[in-house]
A = this chain, B = another copy of it.
């Protein structure tokens, strides 16, 4: 659960980073910002802020924002019926961003979330600067983290099936609950 105060704070700070990144949003889009704590109850450590730009039956685009040192937990996009699973392309826009994907352990800039080391198993570090892109085929385990400035990125994908994503941490509940809602 996220408290109303934390939800408001992380969303407002994220909108400022999006502005800093030079991305123009409509006022309707700004209203649509949300935060996901994955049921882990420490939004400023494990979580992400999201604005869905569009979401059709075939594809989607989102803006993802990490606040300074915030980490999105390790997960992957499984097959869904006839679909091989969501394919995702990340495009860095602004800030300090590292992704962790399959491959040799090169973790250097980032850190494992304290007490959750077992749930961050991918250790191949990819630094994503402005304009850098990372293609994540279906099934690719990944997590990502912001450095000191936070980070703003685009996520482009085939059809969104977020509630079916699978997480390494068994404590994850994908649907966000905000206090009092």
Residues of A within 8 A of B (CB): 22-26, 29, 53-54, 56, 58-59, 61, 87, 89, 91, 93-94, 130-133, 135, 156-158
Contact = CB atoms under 8 A, between A and B. Distances in A.
Given A61-B89, A89-B61, A54 B157 contact: no
A55 to B, nearest CB: 10
A91 B154 CA distance: 13
A59 B135 contact: no
A96 to B, nearest CB: 15
Query: What number of copies of this chain does the assembly contain?
Result: 2
A35 B22 CA distance: 26
A122 B68 CA distance: 48
Nearest to A93: B24
B91 A53 contact: yes
B26 A87 contact: no
Contact of A89 (B59, B91, B133, B135): B59
A59 B156 contact: yes
A158 B26 contact: no
B22 A89 contact: no
27 contacts: A22-B22, A22-B24, A24-B93, A24-B94, A24-B130, A24-B131, A25-B131, A26-B130, A26-B131, A26-B132, A29-B131, A53-B91, A53-B133, A54-B89, A54-B133, A54-B135, A54-B156, A56-B87, A56-B89, A56-B135, A58-B158, A59-B59, A59-B87, A59-B89, A59-B158, A61-B156, A156-B156
Contacts of A135: 54, 56
Contacts of A156: 54, 59, 61, 156
